[in-house]
C-alpha cells in the first residue's frame, strides 16, 4: 500500500501534467480567437470598401448588371451596399401641427390607436362595425 507521501507525490505529478495541457489548450484558444478577431475586422473593412465601390458606381452600372459581369450574387452586392455606413445627414427639427390640443410635434408613427386596437379582446371585428345596409336605409327614409 502507498504511503501518504507517495500518494501526495502521485497527485502532484498528475496535476502537473494536467495543468500543462490545460494551459496549452487555453493559450492556443486565446491565440486563435485573437487571429479570428483580426480576420473578422479585415473582412468588415473589405465589405465596407465593396459597398462604397458599388454605391459610387450606381450611376453607371446597376446591381444586376454588376452581378452578371462579376459572377456574384445580386444579394451579396446589395448586402454590401446596404451594410456600408451612410453619410450622416443634417438633423431635422420636429415639425409641429396645430390641432385640438394646440401645437403638437408630429411624428411619422401615430400614437392614436386604431379602432381594432381599442376594442377589448372579447369583441369581434364584425361586431364593432356598423352594417352599411342600415346606414343606407336610414338615409333613404
Q: Is residue 138 assigned to a domain?
A: no
Is residue 75 in a domain? yes
Q: Supply the pLDDT for residue 83.
A: 86
Residues near 128 by beta carbon (within 8 Å), at least 6 away in sequence: 115, 116, 119
Is the residue at 134 inside a domain? no
Helices 74-83 and 63-70 sit at what angle, rounded to 10 degrees?
Answer: 120
Confirm if 96 and 103 have CB atoms less than 8 A apart.
yes
pLDDT in tens, 9-60: 999 989 998 999 999 999 999 999 999 999 999 999 999 999 999 999 999 9
The pLDDT assigned to 49 comes to 96
Percent of the chain with pLDDT over 70: 61
Range of lowest pLDDT (49-63, 67-81, 95-109): 95-109
130 within some domain: no
- Quick one: pLDDT at residue 121? 47
Residue 64 in any domain: the answer is yes
**pLDDT tens-digit profile of 75-90?**
999 999 998 766 656 6
Residue 122 lies in a domain: no
- pLDDT value of position 120: 47
Q: How many domains does the chain have?
A: 1
Q: Please give the residue range of the domain that contains residue 21.
A: 4-83
Average pLDDT, the chain: 78
Distance between CA atoms of residues 77 and 73, nearest Å = 7
Per-residue pLDDT, 84? 76
User: What pLDDT band is residue 102 in, cutting at 50, 70 and 90?
Assistant: low
- 66 neighbors 72 (Cβ within 8 angstroms): yes
**Cβ contact 51:83 at 8 Å:** yes
SS percent in the chain: helix, strand, coil, step 5: 60, 5, 30
Closest CA to 72 of 48, 83, 80, 45: 80
Amino acid at each position: 500500500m502507498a504511503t501518504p507521501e507517495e500518494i501526495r507525490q502521485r497527485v502532484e505529478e498528475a496535476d502537473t501534467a494536467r495543468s500543462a495541457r490545460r494551459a496549452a489548450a487555453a493559450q492556443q484558444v486565446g491565440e486563435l480567437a485573437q487571429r479570428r478577431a483580426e480576420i473578422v475586422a479585415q473582412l468588415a473593412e473589405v465589405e465596407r470598401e465593396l459597398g462604397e465601390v458599388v454605391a459610387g458606381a450606381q450611376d453607371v452600372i446597376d446591381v444586376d448588371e454588376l452581378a452578371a459581369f462579376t459572377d456574384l450574387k445580386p444579394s451579396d452586392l446589395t448586402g454590401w451596399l446596404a451594410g456600408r455606413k451612410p453619410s450622416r445627414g443634417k438633423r431635422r427639427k420636429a415639425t409641429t401641427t396645430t390641432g385640438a390640443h394646440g401645437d403638437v410635434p408630429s411624428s411619422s408613427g401615430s400614437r392614436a390607436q386604431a379602432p381594432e386596437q381599442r376594442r377589448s379582446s372579447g369583441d369581434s371585428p364584425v361586431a364593432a362595425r356598423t352594417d352599411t345596409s342600415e346606414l343606407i336605409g336610414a338615409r333613404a327614409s
